[in-house]
C-alpha cells in the first residue's frame, strides 16, 4: 500500500479540492492513504533542530515494513516515464508492505530522516509549500498509473 505522509495539515481549499479529486481518480488503480501530521508547535519559538526532531518522532511509527521515499528539492529528478518505472520497481521488488512518500514541514526534513530514506526524489529545483508538493505528487501518481495501465493521458 502507498502512503503519503506530510507534516502540516492541508488547509487551503484549492489544495483540498485537488487532493480529493486526484485521490478519487487514483482509486480506480490503487488505494493511496494520505496521512497529515500536526505541526510541531510555533516555528518562531522553537529552534529549527528541535522542531525537526519533533517532526521526525511523528514519522517513526510509519517506518516498520516500509520503503521510504523522501521528497526533497535536492533529490533525484526524473521524468514521468522514469518515475513510473521507479514506482513499479519498488512496488514489485522492495518487499515492503508500505511505500511511504514523505513530505516535510515548513523547515524541511530532520537529519535523522535522511538516514531512513531508501530514496530521495525531487519534483523540481523550485521549492513548493508542503501542500503543493502533495498535490503535484498526487498528479504524478495518477499519471504513473495511467502510464502503467496503458491508458491515454501522458503525451
Ligand atoms: C516548504 S518545503 C521545505 C523547504 C525547506 N527549505 C527545505 O530545505 O526542504 C516543505 C516540504 O515540501 C516538499 N517539497 C517542496 N518543494 C519540493 C520539490 N521541489 N521537490 C520535492 N519536494 C519538495 C519537501 O518534502 C519539503 O520538506
| 43 domain residue, yes or no | yes
Q: What is the DSSP letter of 105?
A: B
The count of other CB atoms within 10 Å of the CB of residue 111 is: 10
Cα atoms in the 13 Å half-sphere on the side-chain side of 91: 16
| 100 domain residue, yes or no | yes
For the chain, the domain total comes to: 1
With contact defined as beta carbons under 8 Å apart, do 126 and 73 qualify?
Answer: yes
Of the candidates 43, 49, 31, 66, the residue with the CA atom closest to the CA atom of residue 138: 31
Q: What is the pLDDT of residue 81?
A: 97
Helix, strand, or coil here: 116? Answer: helix
Q: Which atom of ligand 1 is nearest to the CA of 6?
A: 25
Lookup: cell for 6: 506530510
- Rounded to whole angstroms, the Cα distance separating 112 from 96 reads 20
Q: What is the CATH number of the domain that holds 140?
A: 3.40.1280.10
- Rounded to whole angstroms, the Cα distance separating 139 from 92 reads 21
| 154 domain residue, yes or no | no
Of the candidates 144, 149, 154, 140, the residue with the CA atom closest to the CA atom of residue 18: 140
| 105 domain residue, yes or no | yes
Q: Which atom of ligand 1 is nearest to the CA of 102?
A: 25
**What would the pLDDT profile of 74-100 be if each residue is shown by its tens digit?**
999 999 999 999 999 999 999 999 999
Handedness of CA 33, 10, 71, 113 (dihedral sign): negative
Per the annotation, binding residues are 71, 104, 123-128
**CB-defined site of ligand 1, < 6 Å:** 71-73, 103-104, 106, 108-109, 122-124, 126-130, 133
Lookup: cell for 140: 504524478
Choose which residue among 127, 129, 130, 139 to substitute to test ligand 1 binding: the one with the highest number of ligand atoms within 8 A of its C-beta.
127
Q: What is the pLDDT of residue 116?
A: 93
Lookup: cell for 80: 514521468
Q: What ipTM goes with this model?
A: 0.97
| 80 domain residue, yes or no | yes
| 155 domain residue, yes or no | no
Q: Which domain holds residue 72?
A: 2-148
| 153 domain residue, yes or no | no
| 122 domain residue, yes or no | yes
Nearest residue by C-alpha to atom 5 in ligand 1: 108
CA of 151 to the centre of ligand 1 (A): 30
Averaged pLDDT, groups of 10, the chain, 155 residues long? 95 97 97 93 84 87 97 98 98 96 92 94 97 98 97 89
Amino acid at each position: 500500500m502507498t502512503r503519503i505522509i506530510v507534516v502540516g495539515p492541508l488547509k487551503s481549499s484549492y489544495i483540498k479540492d485537488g487532493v480529493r479529486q486526484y485521490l478519487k481518480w487514483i482509486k480506480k488503480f490503487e488505494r493511496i492513504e494520505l496521512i497529515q501530521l500536526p505541526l510541531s508547535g510555533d516555528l518562531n519559538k522553537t529552534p529549527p533542530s528541535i522542531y525537526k526532531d519533533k517532526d521526525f518522532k511523528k514519522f517513526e511509527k510509519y517506518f516498520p515494513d516500509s520503503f521510504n521515499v523522501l521528497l526533497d528539492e535536492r533529490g533525484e529528478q526524473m521524468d514521468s516515464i522514469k518515475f513510473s518505472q521507479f514506482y513499479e520497481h519498488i512496488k514489485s521488488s522492495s518487499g515492503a508492505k508500505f511505500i511511504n512518500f514523505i513530505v516535510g514541514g515548513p523547515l524541511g526534513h530532520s537529519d535523522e530522516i535522511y538516514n531512513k530514506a531508501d530514496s530521495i526524489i525531487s519534483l523540481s529545483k523550485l521549492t513548493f509549500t508542503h501542500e503543493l508538493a502533495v498535490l503535484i505528487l498526487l498528479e504524478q501518481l495518477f499519471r504513473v498509473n495511467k502510464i502503467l495501465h496503458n491508458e491515454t493521458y501522458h503525451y
